């Protein structure tokens, strides 16, 4: 591939509650937890976007309102706080926050496709170091569809470059599956082989331990992605 475009997204970037929904969120303590957003993910996404010269699209509305990384009809689209609301409110939430965000991604990729052989997409996320009493030991997870050779090679090259520069525990399709419900799955179906999408998952423990280390990791990840893109271009 001689011409590849890159786009960065962050589906769980913020913990904002729209003013019209504040009465539903009577206990605001949950908004500072991983249940509300991916802690540190937006900071990482911004560094990746700046270093790679790639556009960054994100939503700052908490996933407790609507999860933009889930499909319409998914049981995880709305949190328990919203599920009991009437259908009119839920439809309005989808229209204002979900559809607008996904449409912006689609428009950006459509524009890139006009001048590129392929679009490579990094969807930036972070994960809590412990969930339901189980500790997660991985530092970085690279999630992709194992049936797609381009995505598999892309992730292998990212891991190779990252491990050379920064000693980390890097795992494929952990702590989640790369072919589960998500934005990348939606875009694979829409754009086929012209699209290569991975979810990048970073352990929040690194963020909690040191904000500087998180920034350093973000820069190393950007350089590793650059290496992997360059490898694709050379093919």
Distance CA 208, CA 157 (A): 27
Residue 1: pLDDT band with limits 50, 70, 90: low
CATH number corresponding to 4-234: 3.40.630.40
pLDDT at 234: 75
Backbone angles phi, psi at 45, to 5 degrees: -60, -40
Q: Is the pTM of this model over 0.85?
A: yes
Q: How many CB atoms lie within 10 A of CB 86?
A: 8
78-137 confidence digits (pLDDT tens): 999 999 999 999 999 999 999 999 999 999 999 999 999 999 999 999 999 998 888 998
> Which one is predicted more confidently, 235 or 55?
55
Q: Where along the chain do its domains lie?
A: 4-234
193-222 confidence digits (pLDDT tens): 999 999 999 999 999 999 999 999 999 999
């Amino acid at each position: 591939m001689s011409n590849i475009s890159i786009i960065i997204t962050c589906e769980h970037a913020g913990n904002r509650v729209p003013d019209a929904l504040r009465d539903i969120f009577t206990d605001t303590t949950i908004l500072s937890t991983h249940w509300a957003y991916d802690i540190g993910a937006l900071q990482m996404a911004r560094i990746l976007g700046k270093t790679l010269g790639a556009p960054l699209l994100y939503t700052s509305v908490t996933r407790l309102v609507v999860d933009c990384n889930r499909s319409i009809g998914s049981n995880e689209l709305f949190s328990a706080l919203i599920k009991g609301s009437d259908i009119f409110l839920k439809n309005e939430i989808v229209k204002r926050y979900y559809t607008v965000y996904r449409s912006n991604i689609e428009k950006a990729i459509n524009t890139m496709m006009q001048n590129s052989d392929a679009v490579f997409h990094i969807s930036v996320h972070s994960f809590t170091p412990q969930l339901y009493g189980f500790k997660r030991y991985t530092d970085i997870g690279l999630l992709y569809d194992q049936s797609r050779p381009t995505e598999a090679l892309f992730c292998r090259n990212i891991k190779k470059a990252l491990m050379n520069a920064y000693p980390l525990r890097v795992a494929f399709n952990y702590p989640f599956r790369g072919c589960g419900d998500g934005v990348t799955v939606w875009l694979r179906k829409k754009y086929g082989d012209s699209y290569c999408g991975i979810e990048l998952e970073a352990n929040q423990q690194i963020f909690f331990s040191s904000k500087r280390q998180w920034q350093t990791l973000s820069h190393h990840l950007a350089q590793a992605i650059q290496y992997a893109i360059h490898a694709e271009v050379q093919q």
